[in-house]
Amino acid sequence: MCGRFALTLPNDAMAQLFKAAPANDLPPIANYNICPTTQIHVIYRDADQGNSQRRLVPMRWGFVPHWYKTPSDGPLLISARAETLAEKPAFREACRTRRCLIPADGFYEWFRPESGEKLPWYIQPAGEGPMVFAGVWQEWEQNGTRLASCAMVTTQSTGRMAEIHHRIPVILQPQDWGKWLGEKGHGAARLMQPAADDTLTFHRVDKAVNSNRATGPELIKEIDA
């Protein structure tokens, strides 16, 4: 379902690619081991007072529903299932009005053989350009404290990905970014499909990435499977 990912695209390049106004407090780049509860790069459409400007901002990876008394008041919601997105109380309003894009170079997933420990794989686009996950976001506020948070939307894996893990993030193609953000009318639900095998590449990486303290480009280096 993607519990870690990597991003190396510079902030100014992201702002240009997504035609988004960048915030001043974006997380450092590059990061080869982005973990839940940290601040990540998110693109959303600012519809406040009719403004349709895209914005590139930091958000906590771990969706915080409005009824949580603290950000850790309940389960850590780093992902939202596409199949139930419109029904779950935590996500149903966000899926209608607060959808976002989450850029990445690629993501890690762990496969467990019938016997033995979990083995990490790195999944990235087969072509050029970043990988862009579908997301939903929420602004939480309690006692004067405000926090913007998000979750990735996931769906059932197919093909090669299904051999590694049964869930995969919904990956959006450039022509679909505007529709997911609500800029091009209805139809976002039809985008929540698994990526085809020929759009992704897969390779084994070292178990060093198992540690959330691990850093550096060696984490995505291919090793013999």
Positions annotated as catalytic residues are: 2, 109
* Residues 212, 152: Cα–Cα separation, whole Å: 19
Burial class (CB in 10 A: 0-12, 13-18, 19+), 171: buried
* Residues 100, 103: Cα–Cα separation, whole Å: 10
* Residues 222, 34: Cα–Cα separation, whole Å: 18
Contact criterion met (CB below 8 Å) for 58 and 25? yes
Pairing of strands 106-111, 200-204: unpaired
Instruction: Name the nearest CA neighbour of 205 among 130, 104, 110, 105.
Output: 110
* Residues 7, 219: Cα–Cα separation, whole Å: 12
* Residues 169, 145: Cα–Cα separation, whole Å: 30
Structure-token pair, residue 132: 């862009």
Q: Write the CB contacts of 217 (distance below 8 Å, at least 6 apart in sequence).
A: 30, 32
